[in-house]
Structure 1
């Protein structure tokens, strides 16, 4: 298998953490798209949102995703909203196996509670806002090849579920 594994999911579902572990197990390279955006732009995601808005951020995100997915044998952790654009979803599916990591709104809130680097939740870290965003994105997340609920599981368990899926011939 030389294709990519692309991790999607809401912020705080463990994409970056699971991605690093999975990449090591597969002997693939790991790419965190949000970190790549910060590096390319020379500023935080919060600053990009504040200075130029979500639309600009999504353009940069799509452009970098396209560049990244030209390579193979990598695990790519996408930002929570990367699935909002049809072009991104199409590209992900053409480039490899798309894995959606899911978590309950309560667990997401717990994980994000102290994180100030989440622009879409900066002013309203509450269950209702998380539920609304999850509902808005549900149909996009559902397009994944496999969905894994991360509630009550450690990173290694989640990575093992993905590996098992890949070994079954994803």
Structure 2
């Protein structure tokens, strides 16, 4: 079922390591949209990596930067927004995304996420003795919010391009001519 609100953008939400940035880049290319990776924008503005922001200013400061960026994006058009995994947990952020974006949640199992992120030292929320338990706990907390997305896509056994094509096909704001150029069929 297509949601009844207008869409100018696409927002990708989901846990770290599910492929939001990778799939987002593919969707942006297919639709000729701009990709906005919220973590990268915040890093560029701060001149530091997310892990450094967490270490020096704390998670709360990082979340404030996320919220400010989400508010800025409300007036945008033609953007694919790859969010940080915790961004939609702030109800104001999620409401903001709902006002202007088709929200897609990329979902993966705990095992898949762990396999993808276990060697990535830049993930501050996983700097713990038991990262698998931390992933499980965070997914349990975030799952109810993630499931409020307009579209949920399981990515455990799906190539990023398959997820991207599914998003483009489902996007209510997609243009038929752009889609057909890229081999994406759309049932209107």
Same fold (TM over 0.5): yes
Please list the CA deviations of residues 1-23 of structure 1 after superposition, one character each: whole Å capped at 9, or x if unmatched: 86100000000000000000000
Correspondent of 2:15 among 10, 18, 23: 10
Aligned-residue RMSD, C-alpha? 1.5
Residue 140 of structure 2: which of 135, 140, 144 is its match? 135
**Residue number in structure 2 paired with 1:47:** 52
1:88 aligns with 2:93: yes
Task: Could you tell me which runs of 5 or more consecutive residues in structure 2 were left unpaired when the two chains were aligned.
Answer: 1-5, 172-185
Q: Is the 8 A contact 1:2 1:73 kept in 2?
A: no
Unpaired runs of at least 5, structure 1: none
Counterpart of 2:123 (choices 96, 118, 121) is 118
**Does the CA-based 8 Å contact 2:17-2:113 persist in structure 1?**
yes
Number of positions where the alignment pairs a residue of Structure 1 with one of Structure 2: 169
1:32 touches 1:77 (CA, 8 Å); kept in 2?
yes
Moved more, 119-128 or 19-28: 119-128
- Assess, with a 3 A threshold, how the Cα gap between structure 1 residues 124 and 95 changes in structure 2: closer, same or farther: farther
Paired residues of 1:4 and 1:97 also in contact (CA < 8 A): yes
Match of 1:78 among 71, 83, 96: 83
> How far does residue 52 in structure 1 lie from its aligned partner after superposition?
1.0
Contact 2:11 2:82 in 1 (8 A): yes
Give 2:175's aligned residue.
Answer: none
Q: Deviations over 1:57-113 (max 9, x none)?
A: 100111012112321111000000001111100000001100000001101001001
Cα separation, partners in 2 of 1:104 and 1:32, compared to 1, 3 Å: same
Distance 1:63 1:124, change over 3 A: farther
Asked whether the 8 Å contact 1:3–1:96 carries over to 2, the reply is yes
Q: Work out the CA distance in 2 between the residues paired with 1:168 and 1:114.
A: 41
